[in-house]
Structure 1
Amino acid sequence: MNRLNNKRTLVTGGSSGIGLETARRFLEEGARVAITGRNLASLEAARKELGNVQVIHADAGDVAAQKKIAAEIQDNFGGLDAIFINAGIGDFRPLAEWDDAGFDRSVAVNLKGPFFLIQALLPILANPASIVLNTSINAHIGMPNSSVYALTKAGLISLARTLSGELLPRGVRVNAVSSGPIATPLHGKIGLGDAEIKGLVGQIPAGRRGVPKEVADAVVFFASDESSFTIGSELIVDGGMSTL
């Protein structure tokens, strides 16, 4: 406990799933926590569940909204010591069914918005500070229908490396957590039923889906001083799925 004592932290997409669990773990480790989300009802539910957190209503795919997030964080916290860039969408379609609007929305939420959020937050990042990007093993495996999702997550993995090289001189580390199938509401949102989930689990050597805490614990490591010599890296949390 207290691995993040008094650290000022931000979790985007913090109202459900991995983001909500990470915000909970940050609080347990002594951090001050702000979360963002697009759905007001989900944000209010998260506020009630978590307790003492700053809640910011924002669309992860809106570039202008990223500046609003930075302004609210500065007003309330004065600065930031750790960020978990987690907000994202999973839109899975065959190549023939994609249109430019859907493509642009996935890129905006999963890649463009995070890029400009980091830009907006850069002036208020402490020295040292840690940025953790939530990526995916889909960037490494050729899963059908995941083309656009995978390319956005591959972009984040690339950012973990390039931004580490660029931002390290001012004390900012950037790392990535790439998760496999995690039991969150996302699987229901993309239409996976019991049969599809059973088939998915059959591809995981561990024999089960992960749980949000297993990803959140990895994020806590990257956000803490324990990972001070870990820079531009990617930690895969997938039950061995990407090793097949």
Structure 2
Amino acid sequence: MKILGQNIEWSRSALLDQALTHRSVGKKNNERLEFLGDSILSLVISNLLYQKYSNLTEGELSRLRSQLVKGKTLAEVARHYQLGPSIKLGQGEIKSGGVNKSSVLADAVEAIFGAVLLDQGYEVAKRFIEQVMTPWLDKVNPSVIKKDAKSQLQEMLQQQGLELPVYQLLEEIETDQMTQFKVLCHVQTLDLSIESKGSSIKKAEQSAANKMIEALELQ
């Protein structure tokens, strides 16, 4: 069976069916598979970037990865492979145009990655993701990621005439192994807040800014 442009011989085709089932349909939906797919996608893309760009720093690799795994990119992947009509939606979601929503499309792509991992194992899932994502990996431009996420978010908001984001330290979490910081990024004019964690306040703020950028791009 062909999915996202690749042929997969499914052992458990029910996994693909679940991956294409939006939460608006019922309890047996693609949210858990989406969680799994998000994790393996990040790992596979990280490895590809590490091998391809030996001259980039850790921060630059992270920003480049975020460009490839963000919802906007995954929605482009879904549209390229005409995935939308295959996604099962509840009546309310259908009426609200869910088949065209970037968030719905991106979630389905991640869920498919998770389903392939469960059905075929890591090596097949790794090759599958590499084949699906290679066109976007080839198009990505390392020169555009020299600015960090906070700078990118600030520019994005300024271009729209919106107030700049405010960052607030919410919590310092200490364990035996490490200390983590939880930070809130808030855009007042949009009434939008996003939390994120990092091993330092700076990293937590950058992570929160990156999530805010993705949220704005999906609106």
> Could you state the TM-score of these two structures normalised by the residue count of structure 2?
0.28
Q: Which entry has the higher C-alpha Rg, 1 or 2?
A: 2
Compare the two structures and name the one with the higher helix fraction: 2
